[in-house]
Structure 1
Amino acid sequence: MAEQLEVVIITGMSGAGKTVAVQSFEDLGYFVIDNMIPSVATKFVDAVKQSGEITRMAMVMDSRSREFYDQVVPCVAQLRGRSDLTLRLLFLEATDEELVSRYKESRRAHPLSHQDGVLPGIMRERQLLNDLKSQVDLVVDTTTLTPRQLKQRITERFSPDEAHSFYVNVMSFGFKYGLPLDADLVIDVRFLPNPYYIPDLKHQTGNDPAVQAYVMDNPLAQNFYQHLYLLIEVALPGYIKEGKSSLTIAIGCTGGQHRSVTIANRLAADLKNNQYPVHVHHRDVDKAN
């Protein structure tokens, strides 16, 4: 029986990190095609399969192709319906503010700007991508990720050794800096006592034992965490059975430095002890408090 071809479509917002994604997939040994036209993608996949030399390929499909918005959704549906390949969609996202900043820094024009600036182009693109985004397998918000961190996220999810395993991403964040765009579950822990108001703890974080003890020694936190972990423990097998390949659990407090970091660390450690592959990421822990 012929080996199935693994196909990853890389798409998402212009300026959200597709260049880094291309380099990451090349480093993982994927055969990568940049700026693939959706109308010829199926024929190209057929040619790759017939060669018999490639088992993993990634294709970038984005707004540089004029046919993209009309043809990408039918293209995805056609490829998903094939039994001779495994298709996954990676959607790269970022906030409007971050995308504007990146375009200004690069001094490039947005592909959908009609002489009215970068932000209107971003808003047009976001609206046009709504249908596609609802079908993707993994959304990665690159707003606060460095290129190295984005490459690490892709490697953890798409490395050949891990490609078919369920993966849990636990992250902490601060509500004052906005909700994470790629979260599947958002847990608000702002009701817990805040170490920020303790002078000796204010400038520490949930990575420090003193802060962890202050948060977790509280009976309210202990009771809450027991119920939270039970909820996650019950839900994860259901997500796996449904066919979900990864789950992002975002724990939020006001500034993303004390309570959310503590709970995220505890949850990640307990999930690892329960044999789940886990990555923990503290989005706002290094921001000045």
Structure 2
Amino acid sequence: MTGMSGAGKSTALDVLEDLGWETIDNFPVRLLDRLVTDPGHASDTPRAPLAIGFDSRTRGFVPAEIIALVKDLAARADIALTFMFIDCDGDEIERRYNETRRRHPMSDGRPVKEGIAAERELLEPLRRWAEVVIDTSAMASNELQAHVRDLFETGESGAMTLTVSSFGFARGMPPIADLVFDMRFLDNPYWDEALREKTGQDPEVGQHIERDPGFAPVYEKIRDLLVDLLPRYASQGKSYVHIAFGCTGGRHRSVFTAERMARDLRDAGFSPTVRHRNLASRAADEIEGERQGD
């Protein structure tokens, strides 16, 4: 694992440690092969998965040499290796460093912006080569933690990790989603005073949504599409799939649809994780907008 300083690499490593991984940060690159081979480890003793973090501060950090070394390791039959890059927009990194008043490792007496630009140029070959890239520009720390758990909290090696989520368009698009479905064409329960403070997890809200004549035919098409697509993704080696349903505020239509879709996908043999980004957000007129514009 590598990435831009301030993008969240340490946070991601902490999550993996909580999941039972062995984690090492800023490990000398020249010792990587020796660490992975671990001649002192008994071959018949299971070992925890290992996460190794490195960045521009790491001794012996030369991107071309790192790529060559990791390629050699990935070619070994006894190792399953994933290379991850944690990225973030430069302005957001600058804001984070200004808030914490920490010194950027590549600023060297220069403005933070110049240090960020120098590091991005240095790391670009690694970003292009990485199998998994996580952009944390619009992510809070807890969102990054949840995403890393979605990627790696699976007990079945090689299984595709499937996430079904809900969100509110008024609060921004999800930063990472493979398939996004807009449910704003459905009648909005928000405009029913009795349902306004409820959510898509309440039966009354679900009944309201299901009464919309547009719900059943569209939902069935989406469900059939996903049941057909997901095995095809898996056969192509896609390890992570995130399906997101959006509505205006992220509390009613998207929540109900995500919950129901997750249930139907389980019935079809999949094992989705469900996340509701804006479920705890307060319903508000300024978010939901005018009835005609919703």
Matched, 1:51 2:49: no
- 2:241 and 2:259 map into 1 onto residues whose CA distance is 16
Q: Indicate the residue corresponding to 2:2 in structure 1.
A: 11
- 1:129 and 1:95 map into 2 onto residues whose CA distance is 14
- Structure 2 SS opposite 1:86: coil
> Which consecutive residues of structure 2, in runs of 5 or more, have no partner in the other structure?
285-294
Q: Based on CA coordinates, which of the two structures has the bigger radius of gyration?
A: 2
- 2:248 and 2:141 map into 1 onto residues whose CA distance is 23
Change (3 A) 1:79 1:206: same
Matched, 1:206 2:200: yes
Normalising by structure 1, what TM-score?
A: 0.78
1:35 is matched with which residue: 9, 26, 33? 26
Per the TM alignment, residue 97 of structure 1 is displaced from its structure 2 partner at its CA by: 6.7
Matches within 5 A, 1:108-187: 108-113=102-107, 117-118=111-112, 131-133=125-127, 135-140=129-134, 143-147=138-142, 151=145, 153-155=147-149, 157-159=151-153, 161-187=155-181
Matched, 1:63 2:53: no
- 2:168 and 2:120 map into 1 onto residues whose CA distance is 24
Change (3 A) 1:63 1:191: farther
Indicate if the aligned counterparts of 1:206 and 1:259 stay in contact, CA closer than 8 A.
yes
Matched, 1:232 2:238: no
Q: Indicate the residue corresponding to 2:242 in structure 1.
A: 248
- 2:64 and 2:209 map into 1 onto residues whose CA distance is 51
Identity over the aligned pairs, expressed in percent? Answer: 37
> Which consecutive residues of structure 1, in runs of 5 or more, have no partner in the other structure?
1-9
Indicate if the aligned counterparts of 1:138 and 1:246 stay in contact, CA closer than 8 A.
no
- 2:212 and 2:7 map into 1 onto residues whose CA distance is 40
Change (3 A) 1:273 1:109: farther
Q: Which amino acid aligns with 1:26?
A: E
Cα RMSD after superposing both structures: 3.2
Per the TM alignment, residue 218 of structure 1 is displaced from its structure 2 partner at its CA by: 1.2
Matches within 5 A, 1:61-100: 61-65=54-58, 67=61, 69-93=63-87, 99-100=93-94
Q: Which amino acid aligns with 1:15?
A: G
Larger relative strand fraction: 1
